[in-house]
């Protein structure tokens, strides 16, 4: 069993998520699908992709989200990343 002080020290060292990053993770957990940054943006009701893209990149670096491929964006006709939540997130 882990002592409470050890657990608290461990969690204090974990990277802190801002509110938007937490919202994106909750959205991805609820949707349970692989989405593009733009699909996340529109699904969450944000006006600009810049409101989610930096947080998505941070979540990928932290291992909470991961890139699962690329798709052609229907709006820009460019290849864009497709992201999915870490499998354990769905159990939350």
User: The domain containing residue 42 runs over which residues?
Assistant: 16-91
* Residue 76 included in any domain: yes
d(CA 7, CA 73): 43
Residue-wise pLDDT for 45-55, tens only, equals: 999 999 999 99
Q: Answer whether residue 8 is part of any domain.
A: no
Give the separation between CA 66 and CA 41, rounded to whole angstroms.
17
Question: Is 9 among the domain residues?
Answer: no
What CATH code is carried by the domain that includes residue 39? 1.10.10.10
Its pTM stands at 0.78
Task: Provide the number of structural domains found in the chain.
Answer: 1
Report yes or no on 3 lying in a domain.
no
51 found inside a domain: yes
User: Residues 6 or more apart from 92 whose CB is under 8 A from it?
Assistant: 29
Residue 5 domain-assigned? Answer: no
The pLDDT tens digits for 15-40 are: 678 899 999 999 999 999 999 999 99
């Amino acid at each position: 069993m882990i002592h409470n002080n050890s657990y608290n020290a461990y969690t204090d060292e974990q990277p802190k998520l801002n509110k938007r990053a937490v919202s994106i993770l909750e959205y991805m957990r609820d949707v349970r699908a692989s989405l593009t940054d733009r699909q996340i943006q529109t699904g969450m009701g944000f006006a600009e992709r810049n409101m989610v893209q930096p947080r998505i990149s941070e979540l990928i670096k932290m291992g909470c989200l991961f890139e699962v491929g690329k798709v052609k964006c229907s709006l820009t006709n460019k290849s864009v990343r497709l992201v999915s939540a870490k499998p354990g997130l769905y159990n939350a």
